[in-house]
Amino acid sequence: MWPKSSAVSVLLLITAQMVCGTALPAASSSYEFNAYRMQHYNLLQEKQGCRGAIVVAEARSSDDHSLMRRCVIMKLTDFTAEHYQDALSQNAAAVLILLPKNISSVPADVVQGFMRAERETLLKDTMMPVYVVPEDEQLLCMYEEVKLAAATRVSSILVRGGWKLTCGCETFLCVQTNIYIYIYKYIYFVCVWVQWLSFGADSNGSGVTILLELARIFQRLYSDPRSKAPYHLLFSLTGGGKYNFLGTKRWLEENMDHAESSLLHDNVAFVLCLDTLASGDELYIHVSRPPRPGSPLHTFIQKLEQVISSRFPWVHFEMVHKKINLGETTVAWEHERYAVRRIPGFTLSHVEDHKSEVRGSVLDTMSQVDLRKLKRNAVIIAESLAHFMYGLSDKVHVYAHTHTPTHNTTQQTYNYTILRLTALMSFLTSVPRATQLMDREPTHTLLISSLEQELRQHLVQVYKHTFKPDRRDPEVTFFDQMKQPMMMYRVKPAAFDLFLGGCIAAYLGVVYYGIQNFGNIYSRLKLVVKSKSQ
């Protein structure tokens, strides 16, 4: 009898080991990592993004047929609008997206598809949290395990184990930071910091980089009284670009409400906004109304077209006219804030549509930037401005003479420009530039102070203005935390619990039987020992 019981016990133990031993060897039983939640904010009482943040759910692959109250794990190639809608329709608990460390190795069609799904996800108000996390060995091991379980159709809760994910966060109202940098007035440069969870390389680190380069170029020109143009320049960096350009709106409100506000109307030739200029062979000039012939804006556009046609004929140049709809709650481009105030302006970008996915994607990293095209666009803008301000022809090249004081070759000038633009882009993309972080993290405070220091080297006067939202009726409300610690740990299948419960019940039964029949058992054992001793 005892040998049979032992065999049954061994068989049950082997079965339990087979049920519970499906994990990949590289995965530890528990692992903590930092996950980044999809943007969550209220803009003019409109809720956007995922309102939920707390996750306590088992991990499942997007291919699994049952996602209810599960955390769906997706890689970059898995995340599509269809898979996201499927998770929503099945009331999934959360979505966790694994981003590859090397974005440049991902095919372009996969990147574009992810960007489209990403934009559609943000525009929808949902309680289901969406988290993004860079890939590592532990997370990939977990992903492969849940992918294998979905492929083998192991769906019964009795035999299926896996991973469980947990995290949570709180909310708060964030302060918005704006920086305004200027020399004098009349021609106005504007760049917007991207306000997202990404590093914003093309949108809009490229615009800020070109603005810093323009400040350096015209500082060299204006340092010599003989080469000073009849225009003064004002350079500006504003915050809140992805939230209806609130930084620009607040600055205009502050300046237009004073008696001297008429200076903006009477003396500003035009406002040039730089947005998304680090890729593509297209340049679009976005206007709210076509410029009047003979106006400064019309003359500058002509100079811009002449420079492109004479030096960069392969670049497609086109004007895009979009009227301002005052009934819309969102502002498409930066120059529309000035157009409402009847200040002439336009936005220069390689993006034709303001709804382009690249203007708000976590994949907008340094690997997606083409430094040669960034340098080309900087040359186009600098040359066009110089031709407009000095009344030069398109045969005169100004940019090449504003780099080094000695006689340099064209190749040396090109190398210097590429190195400077690379350094500026690397600096701007070294940390994420979300509005919620600008006044809270030491690295972002260092970013602001470094920008000020960089511009003080080239500009006469540098001012920083900080605007705080109205706490009673804020235009935009942000919710924290964008960076959340998340824990994953292995869970056993229900069959293991049943087996363990059966073993415990059998053990207690044996103990109970032994206690109840202790006298009989003791007498038999005593007889057995006595018979052996004889």
DSSP-assigned beta bridge partners for residue 134: 99
- What sign has the CA pseudo-torsion 247, 252, 253, 255? positive
Strands of 314-393 (E only): list them.
316-321, 345-349
Which residues have CB under 8 Å from 253's CB, separation 6+?
none
Share of the chain above pLDDT 70, in %: 80
Spatial separation of the C-alpha atoms in residues 134 and 129, rounded to whole Å: 17
Q: Is the pLDDT of residue 200 over 50?
A: yes
Residue 153 dihedral angles phi and psi, to the nearest 5°? 60, 35
Residue pair 450/408 in contact (Cβ under 8 Å)? The answer is no
Predicted confidence (pLDDT) per residue in 466-516, tens digit: 777 777 777 787 777 677 889 988 887 766 677 788 889 989 988 888 888
Residue 203 amino acid letter: S
Least confident piece of the model among 245-254, 346-355, 430-439: 430-439
Report the pLDDT value the prediction gives residue 13, as an integer from 0 to 100: 37
Q: How many CB atoms lie within 10 A of CB 160?
A: 17
pLDDT digits (tens, 9 = 90+) for 328-338: 878 899 999 99
pLDDT of 238 higher than 90: no
Instruction: Say whether pLDDT at 190 is over 80.
Output: no
Q: Is the pLDDT assigned to residue 380 strictly greater than 90?
A: yes
Higher pLDDT, 230 or 401: 230
State the residue for tokens 């392969």.
314
**Is 50 exceeded by the pLDDT of residue 146?**
yes
Task: Write down the mean pLDDT value for the chain.
Answer: 80
- The whole-number pLDDT of residue 189 equals 65
Q: Which of the pair, 415 or 79, is modelled with greater confidence?
A: 79
Most confident option among 25-34, 103-112, 417-426, 433-442: 417-426
Strands of the 40-43 sheet, one edge to the other: 125-126, 46-50, 40-43, 476-478
Please report which confidence band the pLDDT of residue 1 belongs to, taking 50, 70 and 90 as the band edges: very low
Does residue 182 surpass a pLDDT of 50? Answer: no
When pLDDT is cut at 50, 70 and 90, the band that residue 115 belongs to is confident
53-64: pLDDT as tens digits: 889 888 888 888
Please indicate whether residue 529 or residue 261 has the higher confidence score (pLDDT). 529
Q: What is the pLDDT of residue 180?
A: 42
> Where does the pLDDT of residue 197 fall: very low under 50, low under 70, confident under 90, or very high at 90 and above?
low
Q: What is the pLDDT of residues 21-49, one digit of tens each?
A: 444 444 567 888 988 888 777 877 777 77
Query: Using omega within 30 degrees of 0 as the cis cutoff, is the peptide bond preceding 204 cis?
Result: yes
Higher per-residue confidence, 395 vs 484: 484
Residue 306 has pLDDT above 60, yes or no: yes
Rounded to an integer, what distance in angstroms lies between the CA atom of residue 284 and that of residue 313? 15
pLDDT of residue 523: 84
Count of residues for the chain? 534
Specify the residue for token string 């590592």.
Answer: 136
Q: Is the pTM of this model over 0.75?
A: yes
Percent of the chain with pLDDT over 90: 23
Report whether pLDDT(8) > 60.
Answer: no
Mean pLDDT of 254-279: 78
